[in-house]
Amino acid sequence: MNYPDDRKYSKDHEWIMVDGKTVTVGVTEYAAEQLGDIVYVELPQHGEDFAQGETFGVLESVKAVSDCFAPISGTIAETNDSLSNSPEVINEDAHGEGWMIKINVSDPRELEELLDHDAYEEFVKEETS
């Protein structure tokens, strides 16, 4: 799998693209593949606040339910509402069209704790070995 180097990653298998004070968050290809066919996506409301590590949404495959954890503290600025009608986009394009939320970051220092693409690739390797 190929993890783009234009963004950061979390150990909960999310990618975080930074654009000024706003970050876009989605799950990685690896996470999408592990989940299998995603059939349902639950996203937060606009303006909701989340602390780092809190559950902001849910992904469901045919068999399993997985919580999505906020990789960073902040306020929801935008959600990818097209996912509610076509959740399969996450399987098809996890790193692009399958983005889930945009967050207005409240504490930019948290960004420093995230992994770069090399570190994430290493992390996945360790987890699968």
Partner 1 sequence: MAKHTPLYDAHVGLGARMVEFADWDMPVQYTGIKDEHLAVRNAAGLFDVSHMGEIEITGPDALALVQHISTNDASTMIDGKAQYSLMLNERGTVIDDVIIYRFTQERFIIVVNASNVEKDFQWIRKHANNNVAVTNRSDDYALIAFQGPKAPEILQGLTEIDLPSIKRYHFSSGMAAGINDVIFARTGYTGEDGFELFCKPADAPALWIALLDAGKSLGVKPAGLAARDTLRIEMKFSLYGHEISEETNPYEAGLGWVVKMGDENNFYGKDLLVEVKKQGIKRRLVGFTMIDRAIPRQGYAIVKDGNTVGEVTSGTMSPSLDIPIGIGFVLPDMRAVGTRFHIDIRGKLREAEVVETPFYSSSQPKPKA
Task: List contacts with partner 1 (CB under 8 A).
Answer: 36-37, 39-40, 42, 58, 60-63, 65, 84
Torsion 20-73-102-120 (CA) sign = positive
Our CB check for partner 1 shows the closer of 39 and 115 to be 39
Least distance in angstroms from the C-beta of 22 to partner 1 = 27
DSSP string, 23-51: EEEEE-HHHHHHH-SEEEEE---TT-EE-
Our CB check for partner 1 shows the closer of 20 and 129 to be 129
**How far is it, in rounded angstroms, from Cα 123 to Cα 88?**
25
Our CB check for partner 1 shows the closer of 4 and 55 to be 55
Least distance in angstroms from the C-beta of 76 to partner 1 = 18
Our CB check for partner 1 shows the closer of 22 and 66 to be 66
Least distance in angstroms from the C-beta of 82 to partner 1 = 14
CB 111 within 8 A of CB 72: yes
Least distance in angstroms from the C-beta of 86 to partner 1 = 12
Task: Compute, in degrees rounded to 10, the torsion defined by CA atoms 56, 62, 63, 64.
Answer: -10
